[in-house]
């Protein structure tokens, strides 16, 4: 293919005819992504455990995309995830984009963290991401299919009381690189977005037990402010679109500069 031919392929954030699945799409960042991609024309399916949460989320997506659908499943249950994705493929067509946003977290010192507490977060975040991606692979449309994981700056930058989540997210950063290497020949790109502290989310609430910690987290960003779910959704929309067709195996920091770390208080 010469460059003139290459230029004819779509260069836009148009998601019409794109079949998108989002695990963890029933609240917070995942729901923000679902609503944003719905507004760009995508057919949206969301996965979460709690049926009431799914229904509430769907009611906010229906305003934009009346054909949105929800599936109740736990990402730790690989056979159930395969069942959901197979059902989505059967009833809603080949899958173009899969976003793994489900996560679990709580603030706890490592010495008080039980083995099961550590295992639980690894299973939801890291193994859950693998379960979703590996179930999706045979069901993807192999022309610029995109898989995207949600990681965190804490994958690269340690944080006290977060040994489980930091370890899980570090695993996700490497997982997207390995899968990108293996699945590129299938026409599948695999990337991640790394959100900084995002206002109004469960994740930020769980990391900011006191106003002092909240201020510390905010001031750890270069921009000295929290992001919002729309900031993350825009980065995801770019990476999962043909605009990023030569981008794979990368982690896009959308974190106000948090990964670079600011340890010294500034005026
Ligand atoms: C210490 C805790 C704990 C806590 C649970 N555990 N909460 N230990 N402090 N606050 C321990 C339990 O005692 C148990 O260990 C083990 O963890 C499993 O707990 P369960 O309640 O049985 O787990 P489960 O019902 O599967 O629920 C998972 C959950 C829950 C993670 C605990 O909070 C959840 O479902 N969260 C989903 C929503 C969420 O967390 N959103 C925020 C994502 S934000 P024992 O030994 O007693 O059996 C995010 C930000 C990332 O990820 C940025 C930083 C990296
Ligand atoms: P959230 O509102 O708690 O959303 C978590 C979503 O995942 C919900 O839809 C939840 O629905 C689902 N979920 C949780 N455990 C699941 C499981 N075992 N199986 C299936 N679905 C499950 O969290 P958030 O703050 O928006 O975070 C979303 C993502 O962004 C996570 O990957 C998180 O690590 C990442 N992140 C967040 C921040 C932040 O500031 N918020 C910063 C960095 C990274 P159910 O509970 O009904 O299952």
**Which atom number of ligand 1 is nearest to the Cα of residue 169?**
55
Angstrom distances, CA of residue 47 to CA of 27, 102, 141, 195 = 10, 9, 20, 20
Q: What is the pLDDT along the chain (267 residues), one digit of tens a residue?
A: 444 545 555 567 889 999 999 999 999 999 999 999 999 999 999 999 999 999 999 999 999 999 999 999 999 999 999 999 999 999 999 999 999 999 999 999 999 999 999 999 999 999 999 999 999 999 999 878 999 999 999 999 999 999 999 999 999 999 999 999 999 999 999 999 999 999 999 999 999 888 998 998 999 999 999 999 999 999 999 999 999 999 999 999 999 999 987 666 655
Measured from the alpha carbon of residue 107, the closest ligand is 1
* 244 CB neighbour count, 10 Å cutoff: 19
pLDDT at 144: 83
Could you give the 3-state DSSP secondary structure of residue 179?
helix
The Cα 159–Cα 23 span in angstroms is: 25
pLDDT at 1: 42
pLDDT at 167: 98
The Cα 10–Cα 30 span in angstroms is: 25
The Cα 30–Cα 4 span in angstroms is: 37
106 Cα to the center of ligand 1, angstroms: 6
C-beta of residue 137 within 8 angstroms of C-beta of residue 188:
yes
pLDDT at 131: 99
Sheet holding 97-100, edge to edge: 69-72, 43-48, 19-23, 97-100, 145-150, 188-195, 251-254
Classify the phi-psi angles of 248: left when phi > 0, otherwise alpha if psi is within -120 to 50, otherwise beta: beta
Best probe residue, ligand 1, of 112, 117, 159, 199 (max atoms within 8 Å of C-beta):
117
**Which atom number of ligand 2 is nearest to the Cα of residue 32?**
26
Residue with the smallest CA separation from ligand 1 atom 9 is 108
Strand partners, 147: 98, 190
In this structure, which topology does domain 15-255 adopt according to CATH?
A: Rossmann fold (3.40.50)
Q: Find how far residue 54's CA is from the centre of its chain.
A: 17
For the residues of 47-72, what is the DSSP string, one character each?
EES-HHHHHHHHHHHHTT-TT-EEEE
Domain ranges of the chain: 15-255
Place of tokens 């990402």: 75
Measured from the alpha carbon of residue 201, the closest ligand is 2
């Amino acid at each position: 293919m010469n460059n003139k031919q290459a230029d004819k392929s779509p260069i836009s954030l148009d998601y019409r005819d794109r079949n998108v699945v989002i695990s963890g799409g029933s609240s917070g960042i995942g729901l923000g992504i679902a609503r944003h991609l719905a507004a760009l024309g995508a057919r949206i399916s969301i996965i979460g455990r709690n049926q009431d949460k799914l229904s509430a989320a769907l009611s906010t997506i229906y305003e934009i995309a009346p054909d949105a659908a929800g599936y109740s499943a736990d990402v730790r249950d690989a056979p159930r995830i395969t069942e959901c994705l197979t059902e989505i493929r059967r009833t809603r067509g080949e899958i173009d984009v899969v976003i793994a946003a489900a996560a679990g977290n709580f603030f706890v010192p490592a010495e008080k963290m039980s083995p099961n507490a550590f295992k639980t977060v690894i299973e939801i975040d890291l193994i859950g991401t693998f379960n979703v991606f590996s179930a999706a692979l045979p069901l993807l449309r192999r022309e610029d299919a995109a898989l995207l994981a949600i990681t965190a700056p804490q994958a690269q930058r340690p944080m006290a009381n977060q040994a489980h989540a930091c370890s899980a997210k570090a695993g996700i950063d490497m997982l997207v690189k390995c899968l990108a290497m293996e699945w590129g020949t299938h026409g599948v790109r695999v990337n991640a977005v790394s959100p900084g502290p995002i206002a109004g989310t469960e994740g930020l609430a769980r990391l900011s037990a006191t106003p002092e910690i909240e201020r510390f987290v905010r001031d750890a960003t270069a921009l000295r402010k929290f992001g919002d779910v729309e900031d993350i959704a825009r980065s995801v929309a770019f990476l999962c679109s043909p605009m990023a067709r030569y981008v794979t195996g990368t982690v896009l920091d959308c974190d106000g500069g948090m990964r670079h770390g600011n340890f010294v208080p500034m005026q």
